[in-house]
Amino acid sequence: MKNIKFYGTLDRFEGNIAVILIGDEGETIEISKDLLPEGCKEGDLISFKLEKKDKKTKIEKEKVENLIKKLARGT
């Protein structure tokens, strides 16, 4: 399983939203300010780690399938 780590610069806050610049193309990510580590301020470098969770995905998929079956039965 491949994990991806990348960095962005905390550009600004727009209310409760943190705008983070990613890469050289000027792309942005907007996330809730509450998800940032405590003490983050404009200009700080933020790291992100993306990973695929196969086992957790399977568990969640099974939960949804079971709920759909339950709803189809009307119980």
Domain spans in the chain, listed from the N-terminal domain onward: 4-73
Give residue-wise pLDDT tens across range 21-66.
998 888 999 999 999 999 999 999 999 998 988 888 899 999 999 9
Overall pTM > 0.85: no
CATH of segment(s) 4-73: 2.40.50
Is the pLDDT at 17 greater than 80? The verdict is yes
Beta carbons of 28 and 20 less than 8 angstroms apart: yes
Whole-number pLDDT of residue 25: 84
